[in-house]
Amino acid sequence: MQKTSFIVIRGNSMRLEGGCMFGNAPSTLWKKWVKADEKEMIDISSNCLLVRTENHNILFETGCGAYLSPDMRERFAVNEETHLLLQALEEQGLSDSGISHVILSHMHFDHVGGLLSAWEPDRESDLLFPHALFVVGEENFKRSKSPHMRDRASFIPKLSDKLQSTGRLVLKRGGDRLEVDSLVIEFFQSDGHTPGMLVSRIQAPGGTVIFTGDLMPGLPWVNLPITMGYDRFAEKLVDEKKQILDRALAEDALLVFPHDAVHAAARVELDPVKKRVMPSKIFKTLNITL
């Protein structure tokens, strides 16, 4: 039986205001879960999931990257100048040219910025990953080309055109599947955070892994009622979250979080007191074979 490795690698990190990240929760609650500074800013990671099969290297997300100019990097509170994702791939014996698929939950800059080379003065960033198929939700890709005024700043200008011009863009909808070697990747379409976001259920021979996207950006958001101020349709997101959590419980699936600075992944169980699905076994790092 073929074995598949699941490794969480980290790209560039950010700082965001905790109140925005926990939109409907008071600070007296969310400060019990995450550490905040005097300005109530919290650490936001770019957790990217590297999946290595017998013949392919699949990357889920690329994080915020290092494409921003110094003034914009300060504005968006991105911490590092260098492209940390490329360094993390090197530590795995890979480069961006060795990635066969880049699967993007959605097109917001903090999930796709790592597709671009690091900022240099008087030079436009290049699109990296020259041999990869770029997989993204069809509806969210359309939105990236014509965003609503409310979330226009979340999309990178011209990136959708760069992806389209490669001839390697693959658009998916909810219920679609992608088979790679012994893996079956099933896409669940979530519209609560942003229309057309894809949550990836990765079925390997030895178990199931779910890359949550911004449905659950980190461990605290496994709590069913907790949503972000950035979510477009919060009640819809809670309903979608319940569907994924119920499925994770039934399949003993491992949830991988894109933004948690402390926790990379978790399994879930039914909490007998709260009467809903909650984290059980928690992983601060992830490097497993299934």
Encode pLDDT of 169-197 as tens digits.
999 999 999 999 999 999 999 999 999 99
Q: How many domains does the chain have?
A: 1
Beta bridge partners of 81: none
> Residue 2 above 90 pLDDT?
no
| Mean pLDDT in residue range 79-98 | 98
Tell me what the pLDDT averaged over the chain comes to: 96
Give 56's contacts (C-beta < 8 A, 6+ positions apart).
Answer: 100, 101, 180, 181
Q: Is the pLDDT of residue 1 over 70?
A: no
Residue 289 tokens, joined? 């074979």
Residue 129 and residue 112: Cα distance in Å, rounded? 12
Model confidence pLDDT, tens digit, residues 25-78: 999 999 999 999 999 999 999 999 999 999 999 999 999 999 999 999 999 999
Closest CA to 265 of 219, 223, 214, 226: 219
Residue 218, both tokens: 């980190």
| Nearest-angstrom CA–CA distance, 229 and 113 | 21
Give the DSSP letter string of 262-286: S--EEEEEEETTTTEEEEEEEESS-
- CB environment 201-229: b (16+ within 10 A), e (fewer): bbbbeebbbbbbbbbbbbbbbbbbebbbe
User: Residue 288 and residue 245: Cα distance in Å, rounded?
Assistant: 21
CATH of the domain at 275: 3.60.15.10
Rounded to an integer, what distance in angstroms lies between the CA atom of residue 249 and that of residue 251?
6
| DSSP label of 108 | B
Domain enclosing residue 214, as ranges: 5-289
